[in-house]
Structure 1
Amino acid sequence: MRTAAITVDPETMGGEPVFTGTRVPIQNMWDYLMTGETLDEFLENFPTVRREQALEVLVLADDLVKKAAAA
């Protein structure tokens, strides 16, 4: 699977979803946000992830939640 912001490839991090062009798992961003850290703090600690990628992942997650709520 690949979107502009997310890549899932068995050859990269064992198939864990990562930010495209990086080896940074998407889960790392969720972990930061769930512990109260900001998106800026995440981006400072993972400089290979672009702000646009992180925002796209957040929008994708929002869309999924809205679809699930409508079902």
Structure 2
Amino acid sequence: MERSALLDRITLNPEVCHGKPTIRNKRYMVTSMLDYLAGGDTIDELLEEFDDLERDDFLACIAYANTMLKVGESAIIHSIAA
């Protein structure tokens, strides 16, 4: 799946989880899923635990985190250069 299609799975809705990034407007916060992955859970294990999520949802969380890191790094570089 293309990166942009993955990122389309991440939603920001002020009525869901206080506007924090979630998966497909469900109550699964991106940060929570990343915590599971960072804790050593595999995507396959998480798919068993959260049967209404798909493999691409977890890949979308990783892609979103990567994008946010790039944006943050870019902002830091621009503020140093200014």
TM-score of the two chains, using structure 2 as the length reference: 0.63
| The structure with more radius of gyration | 2
Structure 1 stretches of at least 4 aligned residues deviating more than 6 Å after TM superposition: none
Gap runs ≥5 in structure 1: none
- In structure 2, the partner of 1:36 is 40
2:26 partner SS: coil
Residue 59 of structure 1: how far off its partner (Å): 2.8
The structure showing larger relative contact order (alpha-carbon pairs under 8 Å, at least 6 residues apart) is: 2
> Which residue in 2 is equivalent to 1:62?
66
RMSD (CA atoms): 2.2
User: What is the match of residue 4 of structure 2?
Assistant: none
**Distance between the aligned counterparts of 2:57 and 2:33, measured in 1?**
11
Unaligned runs of at least 5 residues, structure 2: 1-6, 78-82
CA distance in 1, matches of 2:58, 2:41: 14
TM-score w.r.t. the length of structure 1 is: 0.70
Percent of residue pairs identical: 32
Structure with greater helix share of residues: 2
